[in-house]
Amino acid sequence: MQESATIVVTGAAGFIGSCMVQSLNEKGYENLLLVDDFGIERKRKNWEGKIFLEVLERHSFFDWLELHKPKIDLIIHLGARTDTTEFNYAIHEALNVEYSKSIWNYSVEHKIPLIYASSAATYGAGELGYNDDHAVVEKLKPLNPYGVSKNEFDKWALQQNETPEYWTGLKFFNVYGPNEYHKGRMASVIWHAVNQIKNNGFVKLFRSHRPDFKDGEQLRDFIYVKDLMKVIDWMGDHMMHKTWRKKNNGIYNLGTGQARSFYDLAVASFKGLDLSPKIEFIDMPLDLRETYQYFTEANMQKLRNAGYTNHFYTLEEGVDDYVRFYLRTLKYM
C-alpha cells in the first residue's frame, strides 16, 4: 500500500477493526478515517492510542463525507452488530445489511476498492459444507439472525450489476486475539479460558449434546486476528496498486483450513500461562443448543488460487502469542 493513502476503517473501536487500525499504523498509514460508535467507554482503549485523521460517528459518517468529499483510496468495512444472541433481526438488518449497502453504493459511486467482513455464521449447520462458491450463497441456511443478516448482504452483493472495481467479502471463521476485552460473553473461548484459569484454576467447556461428538471435541476453524490483518493488507495493497485481478473479486473464506477442538484450545491456553491443563465440562445453555455449530472448517483453496501464499498461525502458535504477550498482562494491540 502507499503510505499517503486515505483508508476508511469501519468498526474501528471494535475487536477486529482496532487491530486493523494498529496493523495499518505499523505499516506507516496515518491518513485513516475511523468509523464506529465511539460513545462506548469500554472500547476506548482499543482506539485511543492509534494514529488517524478523524474519528467519525457511524450515524453521521455519510453526512461528513458529503460535506468534506475526501479522496478515499480503500474502504475496509468491518463494522457490524456481531452478537449471535441478539434475536431481534431488525437490529442486524439495519447495521449489517442496510448500512453495508450504503457503504457498497458509496464505493461504487466514487470508484473506491472495498473489502468487507462477512462471516462463517452464514454456513449455518454446515449442511452444504464450507465452500466459498458463489453458487452456494443463495442456498445457505444460517442458524441465527446475525448469520442471516450477513448472508443477506452477501446475496445482495452478488446480485449487483454495479460493483466497486475491486471488492472482496471475507467470511471470518472463529477469530481470536487482542482487543476483545470489551466483548464479555461474545469474547473468544481463549479469553474466557484465561479468565477462568486466573480466577478458579480450571477451565469449563461445554458438554456435547450430540452423540457424534465427545465432550470438548466440538470442532471449529480458529483463526488468529493477526492472520486476518495479513490477508486484508495483502488484498488492499493489490487493490490500491491496481494489481488485483477483477476476476478474483468476490466472497472468500478466511479461516486456517484446519478444524481444531475446544479441548485443544483449552490445553494451549494453559500452556500459554505455563500451567498444566485442568478442564471440567458443563451443560450448554439452552438458548445456544439449537443454533450451535459443532463443526466448521474453511475451504481455503479460493484464497490460495488468488495468490495468497502466507503461512497461517497454527492453533498452538496463535494461542501462545495471544495468551503470553497480551492476556497475561491485559495488553492491547
Instruction: Report the catalytic residues.
Output: 146, 183
Contact 313, 272 (CB under 8 A): no
Q: Could you give the CA distance from residue 31 to residue 106 in angstroms, rounded to a whole number?
A: 19
Q: How far apart are CA 311 and CA 264, in angstroms?
A: 20
**Nearest by Cα to 103 from 234, 229, 2, 11:** 11
Beta pairing, strands 260-261 & 250-254: unpaired
Question: From CA 263, how far away is CA 269, in angstroms rounded?
Answer: 10
Q: Return the SS3 of 181.
A: helix
C-alpha separations of 216 from 23, 121, 289, 301, 332 in Å = 33, 20, 14, 28, 29
Of 316, 313, 224, nearest to 270 by C-alpha is: 316
**3 state SS of 237:** helix
* Collapsed DSSP state (helix, strand, coil) of residue 77: strand
SS3 171: strand
Handedness of CA 237, 243, 246, 248 (dihedral sign): negative
Contacts of 287 (CB under 8 A, 6+ apart): 85
**Cα distance between residue 41 and residue 166, in whole Å:** 35
DSSP, collapsed to helix, strand or coil, labels residue 39 as coil
Q: State how far the Cα of 146 lies from the Cα of 330, in Å rounded to an integer.
A: 29
